[in-house]
Amino acid sequence: MTTTAKFSGNIRVAFVQATWHADIVNQARDGFLAEMTRQGVARESISVIELPGAFEIPLHAKKLAQSGKFDAIVAAGLVVDGGIYRHDFVATAVIQGLMSVQLETGVPVFSAVLTPHHFHAGAEHQQFFSDHFVHKGAEAAQACLRTVTSLRQLNALTQ
């Protein structure tokens, strides 16, 4: 997905990220911030919030959306096999939570929360997912800007 023109207008975005596997998840943040800058969005317009894990993201996204201070919320995390909870349970809970937030508040929420099967800490997986998260962060920025623009147009039509 590629946008053809730079974003025009003001925007406030919250980028909420899990710090579990921060070395990889930070790549999504960096890709997101780089694309937002490339699209003409000032860095000061983006608040970055770090959380322990992905499971905590929906509650924070809801509080941020309810504040009325943000045009969009972007979530990033890496949910892998192992730990106390099965990764598919956590991933489903996070995605359902994020969808509920946007439907309840009217603030769009974007997910760069990925759930690879059979992830391992080997160099090959680390490099693949680091690169992949940069791309997913940029895609989230593009989707964010296009959706905020679309919602503003829709609001103008329905007011």
DSSP per residue, 1-38? ---SS---S---EEEEEE-TTHHHHHHHHHHHHHHHHH
Collapse the DSSP code of 124 into the 3-class scheme (helix H, G, I; strand E, B; otherwise coil) and give the result: helix
What separation, in Å, do the N-terminal and C-terminal C-alpha atoms of the chain show?
Answer: 30
Beta strands in the chain (DSSP E): 13-18, 46-51, 72-78, 109-114
Of 12, 86, 146, 152, which is the active-site residue?
86
86 annotated active-site: yes
Q: Which residues are catalytic?
A: 86
